[in-house]
Amino acid sequence: MVMQQIQPREQPAEEAPISLVLFSGTDDKLTAAAVMAVGAAAMGRPVNIFLQYWALEAFTADSVHKDHGASAEAGSDGEKLLSDTAASGKTQHWSELLAQAKEVGDVQIHACALSMEMFELTHGDLDPLVDGVQGVAAFMLAATGPIVFI
Amino acid sequence: MVMQQIQPREQPAEEAPISLVLFSGTDDKLTAAAVMAVGAAAMGRPVNIFLQYWALEAFTADSVHKDHGASAEAGSDGEKLLSDTAASGKTQHWSELLAQAKEVGDVQIHACALSMEMFELTHGDLDPLVDGVQGVAAFMLAATGPIVFI
Amino acid sequence: MVMQQIQPREQPAEEAPISLVLFSGTDDKLTAAAVMAVGAAAMGRPVNIFLQYWALEAFTADSVHKDHGASAEAGSDGEKLLSDTAASGKTQHWSELLAQAKEVGDVQIHACALSMEMFELTHGDLDPLVDGVQGVAAFMLAATGPIVFI
């Protein structure tokens, strides 16, 4: 649904990457992040995604398609709206949006090494969307453009 | 109260815009965002604001001046402090700060087309502070400077 | 533990600073912010930290070492994991990480003047990690690189 509106531009890929630090693991924030990644990828901008804390937990292989709830402020009305929207089939799941973003552009997804340790996870526990595990220094080294914490 | 501290600089307006993605609809985060917009506008930097999810809901015409509560972590003490501060008249409402920011500088506020669809809103449902509805691609295309997710 | 993985680079310090607006006062987000600050400092990038709202409260002298809980979404399992991790001694407290970041690089921490007023605090109430009080205009003026809201 997002992709229908977007025409990839012909342009040099020399723009600075957009670095997304995903910290939150609720479906509303993960969807907002995925929409931003799709938009950036379609504009020809590289996107580096770094998974920490509760967002990392949401990317474990057996967790991706579970219900991750909404931000606390959503309230019960907001939660209901989100699950109705998801059930209507009018919107795509954030994992599908991220898969699209990877097809359209240069989108890398890495798990934060410290968070991996905290949750006692190995690469094999993660969804195939995740390209690898990275330290914060490597992530920051590549973060020559905007850094968005979600 | 913010404006008293700020002297607009003489400078070329060629600096990259600050792009604010407003996702949260609580009064504390909306105020933090509005203060940032005022500060940036006074510095001569263009500001592009993109309203999603619960922030978009807070900008509907009949919602702006309602109590939108605080972030979950505020607790009851924090909530009380915020409403006492608001009642004291020492601080300005975030909608007034944004109106000021628009007077001082180049500040655009757009609603996210996908969130408009999700909440089944039309432009007429929104507060006049909102300049229009925009797709994420258009927003990202203009986001050549920092991108702040709030 | 973070520092063991990081080798400071030889490079000109002319890169734009990373500006971190700390709004949230929970231990998980403060740790994520501190890890980012350490990583950036080790890369030779200046870091400007601006403390607002609940994050400012967490930096008051008698509050730093208290338990600040976790984001609402953590749930009771997440809260338990965080406090077990902290008790294990495998990770460092965010205040220690920030102290390290200040030793390694050019890291400034300022309290937001408006939030100081709201909480009726003076500089003497704050932890020595905080370098001073700053208005939002001064903060935005220095924010020539990425701006991260946490």
Nearest CA in chain A to C143: A146
CA distance A113 to B60: 41
Q: Tokens representing B82?
A: 């915020």
**Per-residue pLDDT, A127:** 98
**Per-residue pLDDT, B86:** 86
CA distance B23 to B54: 6
Within 8 A of C145 by CB-CB distance, chain B residues are 146
Model confidence over B52-70: pLDDT tens digits? 999 999 999 999 999 999 9
Q: ipTM of this predicted complex?
A: 0.89
* Size of the A and B interface in Cβ pairs below 8 Å: 68
Chains with 3+ CB–CB pairs under 8 A to B are: A, C
Q: Which of A39-43, A74-78, C56-60 has the lowest mean pLDDT?
A: A74-78
Within 8 A of B149 by CB-CB distance, chain A residues are 32, 148-150
> Does the pLDDT value for residue A3 go beyond 60?
no
B115 C-beta neighbours (distance < 10 Å), count: 22
DSSP label at residue C126 = B
**Per-residue pLDDT, C68:** 93
Residue ranges of chain C whose CB lies within 8 Å of a chain B CB: 19, 21, 23-26, 52-54, 69, 71-72, 113-114, 117-119, 135-137, 139-141, 143, 145-149
Question: Model pTM?
Answer: 0.91
Nearest CA in chain C to B86: C118
Within 8 A of B48 by CB-CB distance, chain A residues are none
pLDDT band of C1, cuts 50, 70, 90: very low
Helix (H, G, I), strand (E, B) or coil at B39: helix
Model confidence over A84-132: pLDDT tens digits? 988 888 889 999 999 999 999 999 999 999 999 999 999 999 999 999 9
pLDDT band of A13, cuts 50, 70, 90: very low
**Per-residue pLDDT, B41:** 96
**Per-residue pLDDT, A15:** 77
Average pLDDT value for residue range B123-129: 97
Q: Do C23 and B32 touch (CB under 8 A)?
A: yes
pLDDT band of B118, cuts 50, 70, 90: very high
> Does the pLDDT value for residue A12 go beyond 90?
no
**Per-residue pLDDT, B54:** 97
Where helices occur in C43-119 by DSSP H, the ranges are 53-58, 75-88, 94-104, 113-118
CA distance A28 to A38: 15
pLDDT band of C86, cuts 50, 70, 90: confident
Helix (H, G, I), strand (E, B) or coil at C116: helix
The helix or strand, by DSSP H or E, that contains position B147, with its residue range, turns out to be strand B147-149
Within 8 A of C78 by CB-CB distance, chain A residues are 54
**Per-residue pLDDT, B2:** 45
The residue written with tokens 């460092």 in the block is C92
Model confidence over B55-109: pLDDT tens digits? 999 999 999 999 999 999 998 889 999 989 888 888 899 999 999 999 999 999 9
Q: Tokens representing C12?
A: 């000109």
**Per-residue pLDDT, B90:** 80
**Per-residue pLDDT, C9:** 46
Helix (H, G, I), strand (E, B) or coil at B14: coil
Q: Give the percent of chain B with pLDDT over 90.
A: 80
Q: Give the percent of chain A with pLDDT over 90.
A: 80
Residue ranges of chain B whose CB lies within 8 Å of a chain C CB: 1-2, 5-7, 9, 18, 28-29, 32, 35-36, 38-40, 42-43, 45, 71-74, 78, 81, 85, 90-91, 146, 148-150
CA distance A81 to A99: 24
What percent helix, strand, coil does chain B show, rounded to 5? Answer: 45, 15, 40
**Per-residue pLDDT, C75:** 86
Report the gap between the CA of A93 and the closest CA in chain C (Å). 19
Average pLDDT value for residue range B114-124: 96
CA distance from start to end of chain C: 22
Average pLDDT value for residue range C93-116: 97
CA distance B21 to A146: 13
Interface test with A, best of B26, B114, B136 (most A CBs within 10 A): B136
**Per-residue pLDDT, A37:** 98
Task: Kindly list the distances between the CA atom of residue C58 and the CA atoms of A103, C105, C112, C129, C150, in Å, as whole numbers in the listed order.
Answer: 42, 23, 13, 12, 14
> Does the pLDDT value for residue C134 go beyond 70?
yes
Residues 6+ apart with CB under 8 A from B77: none
The alpha-carbon radius of gyration of chain A (Å, integer) is 15
Report the gap between the CA of C12 and the closest CA in chain B (Å). 22
CA distance A86 to B25: 21
**Per-residue pLDDT, C60:** 97
Pair B22, B127: CB distance under 8 Å: no
Average pLDDT value for residue range A63-69: 93
Model confidence over B2-31: pLDDT tens digits? 444 444 444 433 479 999 999 999 999 999
Average pLDDT value for residue range C67-91: 89
**Per-residue pLDDT, C97:** 97
